């Protein structure tokens, strides 16, 4: 269970793009703890400098300040790298609806730059972040790979295009690519600030500040909230996956289903707060329900998530209490 016993060849080197972001910084930390060398790439457009500062004294860590939209930077970052964990992207469905051109530039062109740079540098494995948003309006639960609906946002489209490029790069060029469809990841270092902040850290910060949180919709929407440790495991197990498993996308979640209003009351109880939320309009582009079938990732990647929602939310709350 987990990833602590995963072994890579001696001297293995990893590149984490978006290294100063939520998922990226947690990947950097985990790989360094396993004793391997990590190069981080970020331009701090959404990531935070403080997320990588603690690693700068580690002789196994190298940081490059740069943009994935700059192909020369991508080539430099991939030089001498065995495994690329490509997390750099702009998230948020609502923001993508407001800024489709920017999402095209960063999430599609930037990802293609990274795949091409990986190919030219003979990288062994290219693991990249996709999203559950690619399921669009497909109503059936649980969500299963190969059964997608109409896309609902530019963000979802960028992730679907990344998957298609990943498929092509495996087929045409022999670059082993693995797309990880994250389902509502949460945990330490996730940014609680701003209008586009993820709901769990945002609620926690507002409750700790005795503010009244806003719930979009009626709160009866459901999500497969996935603790960061499960996502780290998926990335590292994909690095060890077979070539036969390449060129495909995989659901990465716990396989559970939580209703937003229930989570809100759970957070209130854990933080000893009695604050009624405000309800607002549903957000454009949001799906109503999300729950993942993770059998494919279990079978082909050896993915075996050990952090359920209860265990993960307890750890997340403790971290935010210490760091907010």
Residue 202 located in a structural domain: no
First to last CA, the chain: 31
Residue 209 located in a structural domain: no
| Spatial CA neighbour of 155 closest among 206, 89, 212, 204 | 89
91-100, 114-123, 235-244, 282-291: least confidently modelled range: 282-291
The model's confidence at residue 288, banded by pLDDT at 50, 70 and 90, is confident
pLDDT in tens, 14-68: 999 999 999 999 999 999 999 999 999 999 999 999 999 999 999 999 999 999 9
Residue 277 located in a structural domain: no
37-41, 148-152, 222-226, 280-284: least confidently modelled range: 280-284
The pLDDT, as a whole number, for residue 98 is 96
Q: What are phi and psi of 25, to 5 degrees?
A: -65, -35
Q: Return mean pLDDT, the chain.
A: 95
Predicted confidence (pLDDT) at residue 257 exceeds the cutoff of 60: yes
Range of the domain at 140: 13-182+227-255+288-306
The pLDDT, as a whole number, for residue 196 is 72
Number of domain units in the chain: 1
Average pLDDT of the residues in 265-269: 94
Residue 163 located in a structural domain: yes
Measured at the CA of 315, the angle between CA 31 and CA 34, to 5 degrees, comes to 15
Active-site amino acid positions: 155
The pLDDT, as a whole number, for residue 192 is 92
Sign of the torsion formed by the C-alpha atoms of 168, 231, 13 and 3: negative
Predicted confidence (pLDDT) at residue 1 exceeds the cutoff of 70: no
pLDDT in tens, 167-213: 999 999 999 999 999 999 999 999 999 777 789 999 999 999 999 99
The model's confidence at residue 282, banded by pLDDT at 50, 70 and 90, is confident
Residue 275 located in a structural domain: no
The pLDDT, as a whole number, for residue 183 is 96
Average pLDDT of the residues in 221-246: 97
> Between these two residues, 14 and 323, which has the higher pLDDT value?
14
Residue 270 located in a structural domain: no
| Alpha carbons 119 and 281: distance in angstroms, whole number | 45
- CA distances for 183 relative to 29, 186, 189, 222, 240, angstroms: 21, 9, 17, 11, 22
The pLDDT, as a whole number, for residue 4 is 86
The pLDDT, as a whole number, for residue 283 is 80
Q: Residue with structure tokens 């082993």? A: 176
pLDDT in tens, 59-116: 999 999 999 999 999 999 999 999 999 999 999 999 999 999 999 999 999 999 999 9
Q: What is the CATH number of the domain that holds 64?
A: 3.40.50.720
Residue 222 located in a structural domain: no
User: For residue 186, what are the β-bridge partners?
Assistant: 227
Residue 62 located in a structural domain: yes
């Amino acid at each position: 269970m987990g990833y602590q016993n995963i072994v890579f060849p001696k001297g293995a080197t990893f590149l984490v793009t978006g290294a100063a972001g939520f998922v990226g910084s947690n990947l950097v930390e985990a790989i360094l703890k396993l004793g391997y060398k990590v190069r981080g790439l970020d331009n701090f457009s959404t990531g935070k400098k403080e997320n990588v500062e603690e690693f700068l004294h580690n002789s196994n860590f190298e940081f490059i300040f740069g943009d994935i939209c700059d192909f020369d930077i991508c080539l430099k970052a991939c030089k001498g790298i065995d495994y690329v964990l490509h997390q750099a992207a702009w998230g948020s469905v609502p923001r993508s609806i407001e800024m489709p051109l920017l999402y095209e530039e960063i999430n599609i062109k930037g990802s293609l730059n990274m795949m091409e740079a990986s190919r030219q540098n003979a990288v062994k494995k290219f693991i990249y972040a996709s999203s559950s948003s690619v399921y669009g309006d497909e109503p059936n639960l649980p969500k299963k790979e190969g059964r997608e609906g109409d896309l609902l946002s530019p963000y979802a489209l960028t992730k679907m295009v990344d998957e298609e490029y990943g498929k092509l790069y495996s087929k045409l060029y022999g670059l082993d690519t693995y797309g990880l469809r994250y389902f509502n990841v949460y945990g330490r270092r996730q940014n609680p600030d701003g209008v586009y902040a993820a709901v769990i850290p945002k609620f926690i910060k507002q409750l700790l500040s005795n503010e009244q949180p806003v719930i979009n919709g009626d709160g009866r929407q459901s999500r497969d909230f996935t603790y960061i440790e499960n996502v780290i495991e998926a990335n590292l197990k994909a690095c060890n996956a077979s070539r036969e498993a390449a060129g495909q996308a995989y659901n990465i979640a716990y396989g559970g289903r939580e209703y937003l209003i229930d989570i809100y009351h759970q957070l209130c109880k854990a933080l000893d707060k009695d604050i009624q939320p405000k309800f607002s309009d549903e957000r454009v582009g949001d799906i109503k329900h999300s729950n993942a079938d993770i059998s494919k990732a279990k079978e082909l990647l050896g993915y075996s998530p050990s952090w359920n929602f209860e265990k993960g939310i307890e750890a997340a709350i403790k971290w935010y209490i210490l760091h907010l």
